[in-house]
């Protein structure tokens, strides 16, 4: 990063635009009505298309439910 640039002109990050697109898509979908299974499948497909091979994925998170403490998808 060049320290001669004003803060307003310094890029927030210099990441891969395909990965950024996947991250933007994921944040948008995660707040919607997309099922967890569909979210994991589509995220894996999009990461693979962006050049990150996904051979196996596992997502676990706590849920608010009277009978279950967590949910896991593989």
Sorting pLDDT into bands at 50, 70 and 90, what band is 9?
A: low
3-state secondary structure of 72: strand
pLDDT exceeding 70 applies to what percent of the chain? 80
Averaged pLDDT for residues 21-38: 88
Provide the whole-model pTM. 0.62
At residue 69, φ and ψ (nearest 5 deg) are -100, -25
Tens of pLDDT along 37-62? 898 899 899 989 888 898 898 888 78
Q: Which residues are within 8 A (CB) of 43 and not within 5 positions of it... i.e. 6 or more apart?
A: 22, 25, 26, 57
| CA distances to 2, 17, 19, 34, 40 from 13, in Å | 13, 10, 12, 28, 25
Q: Which helix (H) or strand (E) holds 61?
A: strand 59-62
Average pLDDT score over the chain = 79
Averaged pLDDT for residues 65-73: 80
């Amino acid at each position: 990063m060049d320290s001669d640039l004003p803060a307003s002109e310094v890029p927030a990050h210099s990441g891969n635009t395909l990965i950024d697109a996947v991250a933007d898509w994921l944040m948008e979908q995660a707040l919607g009505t997309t099922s967890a299974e569909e979210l994991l499948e589509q995220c894996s497909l999009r990461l693979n298309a962006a050049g990150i091979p996904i051979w196996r994925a596992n997502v676990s998170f706590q849920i608010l439910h009277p009978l279950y403490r967590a949910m896991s998808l593989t």
